[in-house]
Amino acid sequence: MLPKVPKVLVTDSVDLGLLKELKKYALLEIAPNISQEDLIERVRDADILVIRGRTQVTGDVIKAAGRLKAIVRAGTGIDNVDLEAALEKGIYVLNAAEASADSVAEFTVGLMIALARRIPFLNESMKKGSWLKDKGLGIELRGKTLGIVGLGRIGSRVARIAKAMGMKVLAYDPYVSRKKASELEVELVDLETLLRSSDFISLHVPLTKETWRLIGEREIQLMKPSAFLINTARGGIVDEEALERALKSGKLAGVALDVFQVEPPSLSKGLLDLDNVILTPHIGGFTREAQGRIAACIAEDIKRVIRGEEPLNCVRLPTKRWGSFAKKSSPNSVS
Ligand code: NAD
């Protein structure tokens, strides 16, 4: 039998405004540090599961879900969800992919400037009492070549900003049209050409079987020793050990990483000591504006699912669907 008040299980930390909104029409169960075993237990009677990047929605979790209608990623990327298993079971998989694209793009360009001008290193040394002007010689972005891997929502935005700053932009993305690239005034090239020619290389692909370790030892060897690499996409796309070796042997000018294969990562002291490495705790899309847009977008879609309507932000539609479980006469029905 369908429940009067749907149960929404939230297993990662999400925007407080979103929780307040969901409370109006759902029974909220909040378990931000839930273990995998516990998740399998508690998902059994959940109608909607809200996650971010930490929760792993594996095939076993989906198998245990007795009446789950939607898995909602409060953000972008669904690499932690077994998409095929969910769709097979008729469960919607939703996210808010557009909501944080501007934030990540701005942040990426910020990292490029921070690398080019050594801002974090100089800031830290001044706070320790040093005046290292002689170590502060930087480079301009104007006139340099930016190689964008993945010309989607974020990659396109980075391209627009880089063009406005006078950079030449190359992109590698086998799935975008020449028309889109030419509208962005970006030259589409193969990966090898991009790696060989770019002064800055920025990754904006999803994490898939195809992009897992897309940047490994061989690809790093192709880069100019003066090149900077920026990864604000997903950790597994870069082979972190190969990257560390390249940095220690001076094969790359610098790196900025916002994402890691395991988060939080256990980074070696050798890497932490390098002054040309910038590390941030997966905050590319973490701005007030993006979090507000994500909350509004997924709250609306959760309401739609509860009303039995098709949500607007499906990653892909399942072939079979659940029916509505909002009783029109229920005091908790959603308007
Ligand atoms: P998107 O789906 O809009 O764009 C991805 C692009 O990558 C597409 O154009 C696609 O054609 C291309 N692509 C796919 N496979 C490829 C391959 N093998 N080689 C080259 N190109 C390929 O995605 P988006 O919204 O722009 O997000 C990009 C990345 O940023 C994702 O990994 C996402 O998870 C990540 N992200 C990070 C943060 C953060 O806080 N750091 C926030 C949001 C998104």
Report the nearest-CA residue for atom 19 of ligand 1: 173
Same structural domain, 181 and 49: no
For the chain, 335 residues long, the average pLDDT of each consecutive 10-residue run is: 80 92 94 95 97 96 97 93 96 95 98 98 98 97 98 98 98 98 98 98 97 98 98 97 95 97 90 94 96 94 94 87 47 44
**Quick one: 139 and 247 in the same domain?**
yes
Whether 213 and 229 map to the same domain: the answer is yes
- Whether residue 82 is found in the same domain as residue 124: no
CA-285 nearest atom, ligand 1: 40
Same domain flag for 122 and 263: yes
Tell whether 1 is covered by a domain. Answer: no
pLDDT attached to residue 136? 96
Q: How far is the CA of 18 from the centre of ligand 1 (A)?
A: 25
Per-residue pLDDT tens over the stretch 123-133: 999 999 999 99
- Examine the domain organization and report whether 143 and 198 are in the same domain: yes
Residue 322 lies in a domain: yes
* Pairwise CA distance, residues 192 & 214, whole Å: 11
Enclosing domain of residue 195? 101-279
Whether residues 25 and 119 fall in one domain? no
Ligand 1 atom nearest to CA at 155? 26
pLDDT of residue 271: 85
Question: Separation of 219 CA from ligand 1 center, angstroms?
Answer: 19
Asked if residue 130 is part of any domain, the answer here is yes
Q: Ligand 1: residues whose CB is within 6 Å?
A: 76-77, 97, 100-101, 104, 149-155, 172-176, 204-207, 210-211, 232-234, 258-259, 282, 284-285
How far away, in angstroms, is 321 Cα from ligand 1 center?
A: 28
State whether 314 and 176 are in the same domain.
Answer: no
Residue 155 Cα, ligand 1 centroid: separation in angstroms? 7
228 found inside a domain:
yes
Shared-domain flag, residues 174 and 269: yes
Residue 63 within a domain: yes
- Residue 18 sits in a domain whose CATH number is 3.40.50.720
Q: Strand (E) positions, 6-130?
A: 7-10, 27-30, 48-51, 70-73, 92-94
Q: Is 2 part of a structural domain of the chain?
A: no
- How remote is the CA of residue 66 from the centroid of ligand 1, in Å? 32
Contact 220, 246 (CB under 8 A): yes
Compute how many other C-beta atoms are within 10 angstroms of the C-beta atom of residue 10. 25
- The residue type at 196: R
Give the predicted TM-score (pTM) of the model: 0.91
CA nearest to 271, candidates 292, 290, 246: 246
Query: From atom 44 of ligand 1, which residue's Cα is the shortest distance away?
Result: 76
For the range 303-310, what are the long-range contacts, defined as Cβ-Cβ under 8 Å and sequence gap of 24 or more?
A: 303/25, 303/334, 305/48, 305/69, 305/70, 305/92, 305/94, 306/6, 306/25, 306/26, 306/47, 306/48, 306/334, 307/333, 307/334
Just list the catalytic residues. Answer: 234, 263, 282
pLDDT at 37: 97
Among 51, 83, 104, the mutation site with the greatest number of ligand 1 atoms within 8 A of its Cβ is: 104
Give the total number of structural domains in the chain.
2
Burial class (CB in 10 A: 0-12, 13-18, 19+), 156: buried
Q: Residue 330's pLDDT is what?
A: 41
Query: 300 and 222, same structural domain?
Result: no
**Which two structure tokens, joined as six digits, stand for 83?**
């998409």
12, 76, 237: which to mutate for ligand 1, most atoms within 8 A of CB?
A: 76
Beta-bridge partners for 147 = 170, 201
What is the reported pLDDT for 303?
A: 94
